[in-house]
Amino acid sequence: MLSVSEACARILEAFQPVEPQTVPLARAAGRILSSEITAGTDIPPFDYSSVDGFALKVADNSVGRTLRVRADIRAGTSSDIVIHPGECARIMTGAPIPDGAEAVIMVEDTDFNYHAPRQPAPQTVIIHKAVHLGENVRRRGEDLHIGDIALSHGIRVRAQEMGLLAMLGKSEVHVYRRPRLALLSGGDELLPVEVDLIPGKIHESNSYALATLAEASGVELVQLGVATDNEEDIRSRLEKAVQAKVDVIVSSAGVSVGAFDYVRSVVEARGELNFWKVNMRPGKPLVFGKYRNIPFFGLPGNPVSAFIGFEVFVKPALRKLGGLSESPRLKQKAILGQPIESDGRESYLRAEVSEENGQLVARLTGHQGSGNIFSLVRANALLIVPSGVKSLPASSEVEIWPIT
């Protein structure tokens, strides 16, 4: 049977990044850059004062010295005055440093009464503290020089990138289009959340959990609803995904060997199966293929298996599809707080990881059955038991994936 890593490799082969588009900066947050960003200006673009104070020459800044105030420089202005020995200029935070000045002394370090609001600049000012060359001056290009690579291709735009893009004056940004993902659930036992339970039925939950995972990955969702255990219903819903021109279809349930598990045959009839079993726990039945040329994931129906299948297989595919540069999951290690039994399959167990005496300790959160969503709710990480391992004593080192 296919190993998890072989399955992942086959899946990734089937995906290529979607095409780029241009969006206004205000809509770029969370998107993936489709091209590198080069600085078109120095950042900052001119030398400026980082404090409210007086711009002066360092030779003039001995304690007790009186300087003549030549000018008053506000933020947003530019002047061509030149500071000579014995002179200074009052200057506000963010205002350009005048020629000739070499440092800025904070107003608090002078005799000027800065507590009174909106005072005009004084005629003279007395220095109370020496400042060194360049003190309180932010230099042009100190952050970035014109022509520097500011942001690389394939990164997700976070708050700080938004700030930098704005500083660089990028009013439009090239990003990858948001991939479109169609989500299908299925099973005769499933009732919508709005309806009271009756014997034999349960509330449909995968569409909510998987939609949340999908949206966190930055895709646009197309909900195909809940199919009954019936080939025609499954097929007609999949056809809606084709009409909606989605980039990927994720379905849950109906991929096992039950008498009414039709998903596999429907996909096979109008597409191709790549594989339908992976040597893992939970979630051994897992279909990957294409429905009419659209990559198709058939996750197992059990809520925990579906969640883990999404984390392990769908997420990396969505990263590639969305244009994110290869940056593998940050691997974290923890120490087992208890012994663990496994069945030799690569296992993704629900665990709570906490810091104890400076190290991360992982403990299982309870029932590991693939339907027990409550232990997943109590978990903050998946704990990975490698294939071939049947038991691990307490204090063994294990890999964990934080789940947020």
Footprint of Mg ion on this chain (CB under 5 A)? 187, 253
Q: Is 364 in the site for ligand AMP (CB under 6 A)?
A: no
Task: Identify which of residues 189 and 232 has a Cβ nearer to ligand AMP in the complex.
Answer: 189
Minimum distance of ligand AMP from residue 341's CB (angstroms): 23
Residue 303 interaction partner, one of ligand AMP, Mg ion, none, beta carbon < 5-8 Å per kind: ligand AMP
131, 151, 135: which is closest to 43 by C-alpha?
151
The one-letter code for the residue type at 210 is L
Minimum distance of Mg ion from residue 249's CB (angstroms): 17
Task: Identify which of residues 187 and 322 has a Cβ nearer to Mg ion in the complex.
Answer: 187
317, 327, 369: which is closest to 347 by C-alpha?
369
Sign of CA dihedral 245, 249, 255, 259: negative
Task: Choose the stretch contacting ligand AMP; rule: CB under 6 A; options: 153-161, 296-304, 351-359, 380-388.
Answer: 296-304
Number of residues binding to ligand AMP, judged by CB under 6 A: 18
Determine the Cα–Cα distance for residues 106 and 131; give it in Å rounded to an integer.
9
Sign of CA dihedral 317, 320, 322, 324: positive
Minimum distance of Mg ion from residue 190's CB (angstroms): 8
Residue 247 interaction partner, one of Mg ion, ligand AMP, none, beta carbon < 5-8 Å per kind: none
Q: How do 180-186 and 248-252 pair as beta strands? A: parallel
Minimum distance of Mg ion from residue 300's CB (angstroms): 9
- Using Cβ positions, the residue closest to Mg ion within the complex turns out to be 187
Task: Identify which of residues 104 and 224 has a Cβ nearer to ligand AMP in the complex.
Answer: 224
Task: Choose the stretch contacting ligand AMP; rule: CB under 6 A; options: 30-38, 298-306, 312-320, 324-332.
Answer: 298-306
Q: How many alpha carbons fall within 13 Å on the CB side of residue 36?
A: 8
Minimum distance of ligand AMP from residue 224's CB (angstroms): 12
Q: Is 206 in the site for ligand AMP (CB under 6 A)?
A: yes
- Name residue 277's beta-bridge partners: 285
The one-letter code for the residue type at 287 is V
Q: Is 189 in the site for ligand AMP (CB under 6 A)?
A: yes
Minimum distance of ligand AMP from residue 251's CB (angstroms): 10
- Name residue 126's beta-bridge partners: 66
Minimum distance of Mg ion from residue 241's CB (angstroms): 19
User: What does R_g of the chain's alpha carbons equal in angstroms?
Assistant: 31
Q: Is 302 in the site for ligand AMP (CB under 6 A)?
A: yes
Task: Identify which of residues 231 and 352 has a Cβ nearer to Mg ion in the complex.
Answer: 231
Task: Identify which of residues 165 and 255 has a Cβ nearer to ligand AMP in the complex.
Answer: 255
Task: Identify which of residues 250 and 253 has a Cβ nearer to ligand AMP in the complex.
Answer: 253
Write the secondary structure of 153-183 as one string of H (helix), E (strand) and C (coil): CCCECCHHHHHHHHHCCCCEEEEECCCEEEE
Determine the Cα–Cα distance for residues 386 and 366; give it in Å rounded to an integer.
20
Q: Is 228 in the site for ligand AMP (CB under 6 A)?
A: no
Minimum distance of Mg ion from residue 11's CB (angstroms): 23
Q: How do 294-299 and 248-252 pair as beta strands? A: parallel
Residues 233 to 292 in contact with ligand AMP, rule: CB under 6 A: 252-254, 256, 258
Single residue of 17, 53, 154, 300 touching ligand AMP by CB under 6 A: 300
Task: Identify which of residues 61 and 302 has a Cβ nearer to ligand AMP in the complex.
Answer: 302
Q: Is 145 left (phi over 0), alpha (psi -120 to 50) or beta?
A: beta
The one-letter code for the residue type at 46 is F
- Name residue 183's beta-bridge partners: 223, 250
Task: Identify which of residues 187 and 303 has a Cβ nearer to Mg ion in the complex.
Answer: 187
387 neighbors 346 (Cβ within 8 angstroms): yes
Q: Is 363 left (phi over 0), alpha (psi -120 to 50) or beta?
A: beta
Q: Is 204 in the site for ligand AMP (CB under 6 A)?
A: yes
Write each residue from 159 to 188 as x if it is in contact with ligand AMP (CB under 6 A), else as -, in one continuous string. --------------------------x-x-
Nearest-10 Cα torsion for 399, 402, 403, 404: 180
Measured in residues, the chain has a length of 404
Write each residue from 365 to 384 as x if it is in contact with ligand AMP (CB under 6 A), else as -, in one continuous string. ------x-------------
Q: How do 48-49 and 137-138 pair as beta strands? A: antiparallel
State both tokens at 225. Answer: 């609803």
What are the residues binding ligand AMP (CB under 6 A)?
185, 187, 189-190, 202, 204-206, 252-254, 256, 258, 300-303, 371
